[in-house]
A and B are shown apart, each in its own frame.
Chain A
Amino acid sequence: MKVVSLDPRVNRLPEISGIDSISRKAPLDQFGTYEVFVQPKEGKPFQHEGIVHAPNLELAFLLAKETLTRRFMCSSIFVTDTRNVFVSPTTENDQNVYDLIPSAGPAQGNARPYEIFHLFKRGKQHVHAGQVAATSPQEAMWIGGQSLRAGKMIYNVWAAPTDTFRFTRDEERDLWLTLPEKKFRDAAAYKAGDKLKTFLEKK
């Protein structure tokens, strides 16, 4: 079927036979998801910004950059496969989730580093709390409860092994260098008050 459109781009699209009869997308036509964490400014904590669909970690990093950090400020991002993130229950009111996490018992094998994330308020984003070394995700959460709680009310915890992340490399820090200058994506660049005023005065 050839589409005829007011959009010249659409008129240039190739003719694809059988486009009307496509019944389903191929069942496998689906990538996994990666959780994306963004640091808005040097020195600020990373926070969860959303997900991207990607075929692998490297492409997830690449695609996350424009999907979730093409506005405002960003100094660094990191991403990990959704399947690497272990999630605690979510509590409410004055129930600190850490009080529900049991001690993991005796160590099972070698410890590895985990990144820990906290939810301080329902409806907000998870915020990076720090790193712990543990032999299991549950132990990582338990240790997080000891070392990263900092007297705060926490409703949900995520733990993910550090070696599963794609971090921003030092030499990649300049990826966001011109971000603050991309004013054309910013409402503030579209001021027409003076033009409007002159027009109204003439009217």
Chain B
Amino acid sequence: MNTAALKELLYKMADDQLILGHRNSEWTGFGPLLEEDIAFSSMAQDKVGQSYALYQLLHALGEQAPDTVAFTRNAPQFHNCQFVELPNEEYDFSLIRHFLFDTAEAVRFDMLTQSRYEPLAQLAKKIRGELRYHTLHANTWIRQLGSATEESISRLQAALDKAFPFALGIFEPSPFEDQLIEEQLFAGEQALRLRWLERVQTILAETSLHLPDVTLTTPEFGGRNGHHTEHLQPLLDEMSAVFRIDPTAEW
């Protein structure tokens, strides 16, 4: 088994989930409706929980413990796509990101149920219900707000336009693409992107929203190689503010 390729895959997935879970948790207590506040927080918890599970797989492969990996690295050592580190902005952007990212995540884990790396396949099978909820949640809100009022449609459209190049950044090819596919660890970013696009378009077709033209959009790549926006390091500084008071202490 190509461990380097596998680790690269696990790191980018774990970092994505951690950073977006962290971002989404910022909404707790500030949501547009009490019930939605609760639902959005649960999904943020799921994401951080999933990242923890992935860091544990990495730990089993010889990487450092999850807390060390998550709370002591700096931005250039993170492999998340830039999409997840962007600030929350208003609920329109947060919802669109949730829709675009979680659709990709659901497809990715669905593909990973076939992975030859058994622990990852097991994890993917185990969390399918969580992912079902995340996509049901995202699809329902996008369907409804995407065909409601002029304001909600124009807000979501603007968020979609802004988010789309970053969303394409999710699928930045790995240097190990061929090995991952060959060893049947993961069927690859290209295959994932195709399935993602189809699902996203199916939902958007039921709304008044329009997906920007893929062929005319330049994806925001770089995150997978540690190139990040100016937003990631402050996020990490904040996340680890207490932890770094004394990283050897037990909190």
Contact = CB atoms under 8 A, between A and B. Distances in A.
Nearest to A174: B129
Contacts of B140: 58-59, 62
B129 A177 contact: yes
Nearest to A54: B35
A172 B132 contact: yes
Interface of B: 26, 30, 33-36, 38-39, 41-42, 45, 49, 87-88, 90, 126-130, 132-133, 136-137, 140-141, 144, 238
A31 B117 CA distance: 47
A59 B33 CA distance: 12
29 contacts: A9-B26, A12-B88, A52-B35, A53-B33, A53-B34, A53-B35, A56-B144, A62-B137, A63-B33, A63-B38, A65-B39, A65-B133, A66-B42, A66-B133, A67-B35, A172-B132, A172-B136, A174-B132, A175-B132, A175-B133, A177-B126, A177-B128, A178-B126, A178-B127, A178-B129, A178-B130, A182-B49, A184-B45, A184-B49
Contacts, number: 67
A9 B87 contact: no
A52 B127 CA distance: 26
A63 B126 contact: no
Looking at chain B's contact residues, the main secondary structure is helix
A12 B86 CA distance: 13
Nearest to B87: A12
A70 interface: yes
A12 B23 CA distance: 12
A53 B133 CA distance: 19
A162 to B, nearest CB: 22
Contacts of B133: 65-66, 175
A14 B88 CA distance: 11
B244 to A, nearest CB: 15
Interface in A1-56: 8-9, 12-14, 31, 52-56
Contacts of A55: 144
Given A31-B33, A58-B140, A62-B137, A67 B129 contact: no
